[in-house]
């Protein structure tokens, strides 16, 4: 260990954190984004005013929406997507961690563009600058992550403002912007309240793990990450283990990946060549910050002992 950085842990976990498993859902997301970009390029090529299309990507928390969208956006932003004006296109990412006003969101968007703006400016001035900077920088799309935070069941007036404003961004004749709105399934309900906006957004949904249908997918995922660090996963490749892993991760693919990374990092640091149940017990305790030894991987009645919803609440409070 050097100072505060455990370089052995860094070396053990880096191949795992750099790994990417190609879920089938990625194909659906890629096809949906390709559809939006193709539509945008075609319309922009005409030289006439047009409206952009977008995506609404939904799924329960920690199913991997953000990871997949950001990876796809990174590929989009590699300079290979050239718009009719000859410039490479870009998509920017903005995460909404809590309630914001439309004006606040404009300031956050400009910051994502690398163009800081003082909040004392008017809302209209700020959003005019968003359109201006998007046009100057070749930004053709914005990903608003955790977008459900801008809507409430009580704030009908505020909800309407956001819905109308999102629709305006898609239709702005000065520089239309493709939108990717992502969040929990409740986001769809709010978007459906504005029919014109909903009609412009293509839906993509990320499902929870469903056993036994996803057993093979979980098995392939585990081997993909084990192979990244040269570990043998054979002793754990069985139905009972995957049912326990699924329960421990509340059916969330994202949490499964996090736990695999933690367990395989622990195994690698022990210089073992075979991953065991003990590594997952330790990983569970570390991830949920619970005392070691008692986990869904060893408890005979794990389905009664561990409530997935309470574990998610605990995880959200700890993060």
Give the domains, in start order, of the chain with CATH numbers. 24-206 (3.40.50.300), 209-318 (no CATH)
Judge contact between 40 and 200, C-beta under 8 A.
Answer: no
Per-residue model confidence (pLDDT) at position 97? 80
pLDDT value for 217: 97
For tokens 């769809």, the residue is 188
Cα 2 to Cα 162, 176, 265, 271, 318: the distances in Å are 48, 50, 18, 20, 27
Spans in the chain with pLDDT lower than 70: 1-2, 317-319
What tens digit of pLDDT does each residue of 272-281 get? 999 999 999 9
What is the per-residue pLDDT for 154?
85
Round to whole Å and give the CA distance between 156 and 109.
23
What pLDDT, on the 0 to 100 scale, is given for residue 2? 53
Pairwise CA distance, residues 97 & 146, whole Å: 7
Length reported for the chain: 319
What is the side-by-side strand order in the sheet with 201-206? 90-95, 139-145, 178-183, 54-59, 201-206
pLDDT at position 1: 47
E strand spans, the chain: 54-59, 90-95, 139-145, 178-183, 201-206
The percentage of residues in the chain with a pLDDT greater than 90, rounded to a whole number, is 86
Asked if 211 and 246 touch (Cβ cutoff 8 Å), the reply is yes
List pLDDT tens digits, range 256-307: 999 999 999 999 999 999 999 999 999 999 888 877 778 999 999 999 989 9
Is residue 54 within 8 Å of 202, Cβ to Cβ? yes
264: part of which helix (H) or strand (E)?
helix 253-269
Q: Which residues pair with 142 in a beta bridge?
A: 92, 179
């Amino acid at each position: 260990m050097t100072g505060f950085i455990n370089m052995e842990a860094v070396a053990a976990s880096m191949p795992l954190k750099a790994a990417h498993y190609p879920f089938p859902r990625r194909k659906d997301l890629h096809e949906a984004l390709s559809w939006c970009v193709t539509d945008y390029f075609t319309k922009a090529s005409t030289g006439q005013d047009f409206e952009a299309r977008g995506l609404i990507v939904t799924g329960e928390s920690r199913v991997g929406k953000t990871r997949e969208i950001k990876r796809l956006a990174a590929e989009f932003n590699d300079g290979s997507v050239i718009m009719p004006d000859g410039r490479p296109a870009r998509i920017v990412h903005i995460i909404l961690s809590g309630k914001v006003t439309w004006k606040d969101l404009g300031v956050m968007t400009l910051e994502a563009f690398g163009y800081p703006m003082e909040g004392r400016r008017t809302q209209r001035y700020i959003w005019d600058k968003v359109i201006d900077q998007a046009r100057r920088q070749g930004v053709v799309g914005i990903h608003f992550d955790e977008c459900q935070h801008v809507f409430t069941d009580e704030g009908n007036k505020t909800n309407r403002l956001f819905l109308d404003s999102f629709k305006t961004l898609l239709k702005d004749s000065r520089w239309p912007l493709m939108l990717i709105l992502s969040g929990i399934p409740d986001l769809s309900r709010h978007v459906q309240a504005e029919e014109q906006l909903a009609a412009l957004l293509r839906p993509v949904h990320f499902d929870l793990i469903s056993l036994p249908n996803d057993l093979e997918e979980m098995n392939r995922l585990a081997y993909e990450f084990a192979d990244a660090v040269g570990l043998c996963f054979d002793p754990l490749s069985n139905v009972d283990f995957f049912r326990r892993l699924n329960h421990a991760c509340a059916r969330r693919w994202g949490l499964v990946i996090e736990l695999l990374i933690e367990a395989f990092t622990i195994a690698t640091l022990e210089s073992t060549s075979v991953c065991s149940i003990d590594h997952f017990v330790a990983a569970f305790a570390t991830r949920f910050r619970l005392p070691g030894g008692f986990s869904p991987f060893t408890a005979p009645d794990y389905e009664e002992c561990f409530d997935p919803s309470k574990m998610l609440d605990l995880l959200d409070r700890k993060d």
